[in-house]
Amino acid sequence: MAKKVLILIADGTEEMEFTIAYDTLVRAGIECTSALVSASSSATHATCSRGVKIVPDTIFNPSESGPEKYDALIVPGGAQGAKTISETAAVQELVRAYHEKPGRIVGSLAALTSADGGDTIGEQELTSHPSIKDQLKEKFAYSDEPVVVSKSGKLITSRGPGTAFPFAFKLVELLAGAGKRDETIGPMVFPAGTPLKF
Amino acid sequence: MAKKVLILIADGTEEMEFTIAYDTLVRAGIECTSALVSASSSATHATCSRGVKIVPDTIFNPSESGPEKYDALIVPGGAQGAKTISETAAVQELVRAYHEKPGRIVGSLAALTSADGGDTIGEQELTSHPSIKDQLKEKFAYSDEPVVVSKSGKLITSRGPGTAFPFAFKLVELLAGAGKRDETIGPMVFPAGTPLKF
């Protein structure tokens, strides 16, 4: 059965990070659902960090977003979008629920910030956009690697648009295997020597 | 004065190629306008190749899309989207107009196909997604390089999602200079050794 992933989006989400994750996972046969996190109940799309406007598959509903329904929860970066998403109490509860359920993972690109829900994710190994390294390095086991899988195997983090492809391929590897990852890379035509696997 | 770029989008456009070009150009201070090419006059967004739905900045209007208004015209890939865009007669006329006006360029990612408007662009040097190489190699001076700038300097082509960043950085270099390109690359946090300049 195809794996299922929930990708959150909000005004200010980094549109390349969102789109690269979503598209790459779909190419790998993983079912993606994007859910809009917004204070406005009438919002129809997210205006992303550089102005691209994306219509979500659904509006974020905590009771339909849990680890009994999806294999992974993804939070893209983009400072303002990550802030909106990670400061939503229901998202913090979800991050905790995905951590508690065996076999489920949480992926965060560039800006976990307070998506840890205070003490939700503990002192795990992680990375982030370099601009928020100073906020995180005291509390977490901070790494400068492009993609970091924590020792628990539950948390996958990355740094920015430039690491969004390696991040997406790591998610494919974890959800569908290294064979599927390599099969997905081929038709995307990366220049020879592009580092994609971490 | 900031350079201006028009990026066309349609149902089936490759969403990573569209988004990487748009976002990277905006990061470089270039004004981007996306225009939806659709047979339906009531369409409000494009459903892209892997299901991401994007709201355009405007609906494609040939009389507002010419080289007197924009410095570059960009056609992203995605087989179905590129087909819709490139088979639109008004787009073929625009491609010709951008070729004729000094200082203007046309960028095409992955799937120029008939966007050449028959004999519009002549036998220029180009590349494409490998899947359509056979269709193009007889007619054009085909290259397997990740990004190709034709000898006329008017046509910039690339191969797929994996070459979308190098393609975008080449456009930044041509429109805003190598200094701006390098300034834009930094905060995007590519893994060391990623080939980005061609």
Task: Name the pairing type of β-strands A105-109 and A53-55.
Answer: unpaired
In this predicted structure, what is the pLDDT of residue B136? 86
Residue with tokens 């269709």: B135
Q: Is residue B195 situated within a structural domain?
A: no
A197 touches B at CB < 8 Å: no
State whether A189 and B130 contact (CB < 8 Å).
yes
Mean pLDDT of B83-109: 92
Mean pLDDT of B23-50: 96
Interface test mutation site (partner A, options B14, B17, B19, max chain A beta carbons within 10 A): B19
The enclosing domain of B160 has a CATH number of: 3.40.50.880
Taking CB atoms and an 8 Å cutoff, what residues of chain B touch A188? 160-162
Is residue A33 over pLDDT 70?
yes
Share of chain A above pLDDT 70, in %: 94
Residue with tokens 């983090």: A157
Give the range of the structural domain holding residue B37, as residue numbers without chain letter: 4-188
In this predicted structure, what is the pLDDT of residue A39? 86
Mean pLDDT of A14-41: 97
Give B74 to chain A, closest Cα distance, Å.
15
Query: Confidence band (pLDDT; 50, 70, 90) for B57?
Result: very high
CB-based contacts of B143: which residues, under 8 Å, 6+ apart? B125, B126, B127
Is residue A43 over pLDDT 80?
yes
A-proximal residues of B, 97-136, CB under 8 Å:
110, 129-131
B-proximal residues of A, 74-93, CB under 8 Å:
none
In chain A, the number of structural domains is 1
In this predicted structure, what is the pLDDT of residue B135? 85
Q: Is residue A32 situated within a structural domain?
A: yes
State whether B23 and A15 contact (CB < 8 Å).
yes
Query: Confidence band (pLDDT; 50, 70, 90) for B111?
Result: low
Interface test mutation site (partner A, options B23, B33, B127, B172, max chain A beta carbons within 10 A): B23
Is residue A124 over pLDDT 90?
no
Task: Count the neighbouring beta carbons within 10 Å of the beta carbon of residue B110.
Answer: 30
Mean pLDDT of A179-189: 97
Residue with tokens 């659709």: B38
Taking CB atoms and an 8 Å cutoff, what residues of chain A touch B189? 110, 129-130, 146, 159-163
In this predicted structure, what is the pLDDT of residue A156? 95
Q: Which of A131-135, A163-167, B149-153 is the most confident on average?
A: A163-167
In this predicted structure, what is the pLDDT of residue B117? 46
Mean pLDDT of B1-16: 96
State whether B191 and A20 contact (CB < 8 Å).
no
A26 touches B at CB < 8 Å: yes
In this predicted structure, what is the pLDDT of residue B10? 97
Q: Is residue B144 situated within a structural domain?
A: yes
Q: Which among A14, A53, A189 is the nearest to B163, CB-wise?
A: A189
- For residues B73 and B96, the answer to whether their CB atoms sit within 8 Å is no
In this predicted structure, what is the pLDDT of residue A113? 56
Task: Count the neighbouring beta carbons within 10 Å of the beta carbon of residue A138.
Answer: 7
Give B10 to chain A, closest Cα distance, Å.
14
pLDDT in tens, B113-172: 555 544 567 778 999 999 989 888 888 889 999 999 999 999 999 999 999 999 999 999
Share of chain B above pLDDT 90, in %: 83
Q: Is residue B197 situated within a structural domain?
A: no
**Three-state secondary structure readout of B146-181:** CEEECCCCCEEEECCHHHHHHHHHHHHHHHHCHHHH
Q: Is residue B127 situated within a structural domain?
A: yes
CB-based contacts of A71: which residues, under 8 Å, 6+ apart? A3, A4, A5, A103, A104, A105, A175
Q: Is residue B194 situated within a structural domain?
A: no
Q: Is residue A198 situated within a structural domain?
A: no
Mean pLDDT of chain A, nearest integer: 93
Mean pLDDT of chain B, nearest integer: 93
Q: Which among A19, A49, A51 is the nearest to B15, CB-wise?
A: A19
- For residues B46 and B54, the answer to whether their CB atoms sit within 8 Å is yes
In this predicted structure, what is the pLDDT of residue A117? 46
Interface test mutation site (partner B, options A127, A190, A196, A197, max chain B beta carbons within 10 A): A190
Q: Is residue B32 situated within a structural domain?
A: yes
Share of chain B above pLDDT 70, in %: 94
In this predicted structure, what is the pLDDT of residue A111? 63
B12 touches A at CB < 8 Å: no
